[in-house]
């Protein structure tokens, strides 16, 4: 088993989120599988489950990432 640094883990998580965004845009959330996202991200389904407990958790993480820039603007 390969150990990953925090930076590599964050990079993998970002790749998964980007792939999910693309897949959801192209196919819709309901028709997109975690296998579809894994293939687009170039990772295994296990890697997705390492970072997210299920597809709903992945969708929530995407929504949270959309709010981060808005939260920063609200603080300014």
Sort residue 52 into left (φ over 0), alpha (ψ -120 to 50) or beta.
beta
Both tokens of 3, joined, read: 């150990």
Could you list the mean pLDDT of each consecutive 10-residue stretch along the chain, which spans 76 residues?
A: 80 96 96 98 97 97 81 68
List, in order, residues 6 or more apart from 25 with CB less than 8 Å away: none
Instruction: Quote the Cα angle for 7-41-61, to 5°.
Output: 65
Q: How far apart are CA 63 and CA 55, in angstroms?
A: 12
Determine the pLDDT at residue 67.
75
Determine the pLDDT at residue 65.
85
Helices (H) and strands (E) in the chain, counts: 4, 0
Determine the pLDDT at residue 2.
61
Q: Write down all domains in the chain, each with its CATH number in brackets.
A: 6-75 (1.10.357.10)
Determine the pLDDT at residue 76.
67
């Amino acid at each position: 088993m390969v150990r990953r640094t925090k930076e590599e883990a964050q990079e993998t998580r970002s790749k998964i989120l980007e792939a999910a965004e693309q897949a959801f845009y192209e196919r819709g959330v309901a028709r997109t599988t975690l296998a579809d996202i894994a293939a687009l991200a170039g990772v295994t389904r296990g890697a997705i489950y390492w970072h997210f407990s299920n597809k709903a958790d992945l969708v929530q993480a995407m929504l949270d990432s959309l709010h981060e820039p808005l939260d920063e603007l609200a603080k300014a």
